[in-house]
Amino acid sequence: MKKHIVFFDIDGTLLDQHKKLPDSTKEAIKRLQENGHEAAIATGRAPFMFKELREELGIDTYVSYNGQYVVLNGKVIYKSPLDKRALEALTEKALEHDHPIVYMDAEDMKANVPDHDYINESISTLKIDQYPAHDPDYIGRELYQSLLFCVKGEEQPYVDQFEEFDFIRWHRVSVDILPAGGSKAEGIDRVIDENWHSF
């Protein structure tokens, strides 16, 4: 029998509308693996946001940050960090307009302000046990995604000025900042190109 790798999104696929993992999903993944196939994850979420899910399902291949951080069999095979200089310039502009930013690497996330209602509101919808602490110096790390907090329409000046990034609204008060041109599809291709013959 030919072996396949099957990629699953998290929100609305592995997790239901309540951000819970149904027993039926666990059973389906188990059967897939028992039949000799590989289950993988492709998500916009950060790796630290679904570590427990990976462990529960026995999954160690994943595409995270919408393709910016890719892991095959527990090993990082591709990274596409945000442009540091552009992010620093964007941060300066955001501070002028009272638009907080959260910086995200593979292990954690930190905010450039001590506290903000927009951050609390949007992060709470993810149903994770982690909130960004205040650390404006975190911008010096290798970051794969940031979150810009503003209401609809206020992101347009950033879109116009920073061509290095793609801006994707995912919440009423929050926009993803990603390297321009990246995608889950590209991340999946990286997995296949790197080691398809091993599956």
89 shares its domain with 67: no
88 shares its domain with 147: yes
pLDDT for res 198: 52
The rounded Cα 194 to chain-centroid distance in angstroms is 21
pLDDT single digits (tens) 176-195: 999 999 899 999 999 988 86
157 shares its domain with 137: yes
Q: Catalytic: 117?
A: no
Domain holding 43: CATH number? Answer: 3.40.50.1000
pLDDT for res 199: 47
CA dist 122 and 172 (Å) reads: 8
Q: What token pair was written down for 21?
A: 């993992």
Split into its structural domains, the chain has a count of 2
pLDDT single digits (tens) 84-137: 999 999 999 999 999 999 999 999 999 999 999 999 999 999 888 889 999 999
Residue among 9, 60, 135, 166 flagged as catalytic: 9
Domain holding 173: CATH number? Answer: 3.30.1240.10
75 shares its domain with 158: no
Domain span holding position 61: 5-80+182-198
93 shares its domain with 48: no
108 shares its domain with 167: yes
Tell me the pTM: 0.89
